[in-house]
């Protein structure tokens, strides 16, 4: 049956962890011990909206790492199947049906289409399989359909505000982004997928923070590049042809698209001979950090994939195994939501 699942072979994505180890087994007490005694193995399913998305791969990497650590330290065998939904909700529904049919102990869902959450929640509720959504947030009405449904992610509005703050900090330090001196910052906005909470709220809050601080802005162009570098590069090339030097700032809903923007700008002669333009992203991908160090990017906002993966694994394991995971998280969480804070990254803060 396992063979019917799509297995991922990349370094980052494991489909199966089964190193049984009694080493380092911490004694459990009371209720935990009796629950643990009843389970020698836990089966966890993780479905990814698209394993071609570098940020999602980073989360997945982290889930795998913490699962391996947990197994090392406990006497419960951990089986994790990680499935790539290839940006196809029909495929994802099928994968979730399979996990349910095989009675997995807990499931983590990186949903393709947020509008599909109610349907998935109905199914896992009926099968009584606790489910953790991550990165792509269902609306509260859906989250409230069952008390064993959780969300782990980062607050989208906060990341947008921090993008605005990066620009504001630079302006307050004396950077002159207003090249044509008209008292207004002309910007273009690269957006992620339409309907994704991070696209909607990052676009809105980045600009709102500037406007609230008294900075006048004008949007020259704004369009989706679907989180993708290649599409973003194409958009910026078009916008450069259309607006040229009038573009004073490039704001991007994520780093992948910011990196695409940088490639386009470079092709148009930027970042050479002191010709520069501020580009701001979100995520904190390694290549974005490199671009910041090379003065090709003004800054990014850390969307902490490592901590998100850690929290997802910890929750999933605790729900599935019925014993507390060894993962320690210093974040406050309410019954259903756990939020990992963002952080501003600029040249000054990179060590
Ligand atoms: C990230 C994007 C990613 C998207 C996928 C966002 O939080 O910033 O890089 O493509 O999630 O859902």
Would the CB of 198 count as within 6 Å of ligand 1? Answer: yes
Check residue 38 and give its pLDDT.
59
What's the gap in Å between 315 CA and the centre of ligand 1? Answer: 21
Residue 48 has pLDDT above 70, yes or no: yes
* Ligand 1 binding pocket includes 163 (Cβ within 6 Å): no
Mutating to test ligand 1, I would choose from 51, 52, 56, 339 the residue with most ligand atoms within 8 A of its C-beta, which is 56
**pLDDT of the residue at 33:** 41
Report pLDDT digits (tens) over 77-100.
999 999 999 999 999 999 999 999
Percent of the chain, pLDDT > 70? 89
Supply the pLDDT for residue 5. Answer: 36
The fraction of the chain above a pLDDT of 90, given in percent, is 84
Check if 6-154+304-340 and 156-302 are the same fold. Answer: yes
What is the SS3 assignment for 347? coil
Give Cα 171 distance to the centre of its chain: 28
136 lines ligand 1 (CB under 6 A): yes
Amino acid 39: pLDDT = 84
How many CA atoms does the CB half-sphere of 304 hold within 13 Å? Answer: 18
186 Cβ inside 6 Å of ligand 1: no
Q: Does the pTM of the predicted model rise above 0.75?
A: yes
- Coil, strand, or helix at residue 87? coil
Cβ of 254 less than 6 Å from ligand 1: yes
Residue 17 has a pLDDT of 36
Give mean pLDDT, residues 180-187.
Answer: 97
Ligand 1 neighbour 56 (Cβ under 6 A): yes
Residue 6 in this model has a pLDDT that exceeds 50: no
Task: Read off the tokens for 149.
Answer: 């449904």
Which residues, in sequence order, are bridge partners of residue 345? Answer: 300
Fold assignment, 6-154+304-340 = Rossmann fold (3.40.50)
CATH 3.40.50.2300 fits 156-302, yes or no: yes
Q: What is the mean pLDDT of the chain?
A: 90
CA–CA dist 145, 332 (Å, integer): 23
CB 222 within 8 A of CB 200: no
Domain residue spans in the chain?
6-154+304-340, 156-302
Instruction: Convert the pLDDT of each residue in 225-267 to its tens digit.
Output: 999 999 999 999 999 999 999 999 999 999 999 999 999 999 9
């Amino acid at each position: 049956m396992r063979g019917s699942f799509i297995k991922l072979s990349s370094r980052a994505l494991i489909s199966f962890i089964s190193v049984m180890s009694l080493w380092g087994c911490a004694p459990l007490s009371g209720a935990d011990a009796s629950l643990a005694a009843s389970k020698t193995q836990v089966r966890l399913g993780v479905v990814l909206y698209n394993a071609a998305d570098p940020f999602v791969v980073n989360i997945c990497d982290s889930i795998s790492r913490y699962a391996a650590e947990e197994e090392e330290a406990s006497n419960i065998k951990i089986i994790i199947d990680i499935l790539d939904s290839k940006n196809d909700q029909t495929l994802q529904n099928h994968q979730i049906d399979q996990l349910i049919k095989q009675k997995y102990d807990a499931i983590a869902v990186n949903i393709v289409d947020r509008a599909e959450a109610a349907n998935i929640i109905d199914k896992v509720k009926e099968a009584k399989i606790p489910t953790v959504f991550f990165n792509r947030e269902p609306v509260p009405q859906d989250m409230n359909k069952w008390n064993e449904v959780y969300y782990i992610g980062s607050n989208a509005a906060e990341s947008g505000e921090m993008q605005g703050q990066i620009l504001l900090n630079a302006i307050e330090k004396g950077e002159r982004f207003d090249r044509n001196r008209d008292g207004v910052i002309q910007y273009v906005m690269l957006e992620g997928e339409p309907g994704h909470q991070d696209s909607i709220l990052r676009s809105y809050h980045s600009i709102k923070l500037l406007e609230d601080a008294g900075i006048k802005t004008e949007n020259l162009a704004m369009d989706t590049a679907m989180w993708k570098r290649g599409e973003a590069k194409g958009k910026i090339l078009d916008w450069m042809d259309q607006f040229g030097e009038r573009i004073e700032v490039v704001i991007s809903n994520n780093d992948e698209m910011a990196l695409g923007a940088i490639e386009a700008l470079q092709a148009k002669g930027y970042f050479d001979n002191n010709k520069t333009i501020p580009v701001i992203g979100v995520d904190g991908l390694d290549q974005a950090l490199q671009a910041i160090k090379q003065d090709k990017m003004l800054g990014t906002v850390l969307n902490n994939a490592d901590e998100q993966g850690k929290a997802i694994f910890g929750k999933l394991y605790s729900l599935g195994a019925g014993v507390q995971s060894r993962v320690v998280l210093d974040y406050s969480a309410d019954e259903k939501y756990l939020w990992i804070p963002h952080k501003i990254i600029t040249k000054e803060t990179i060590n």
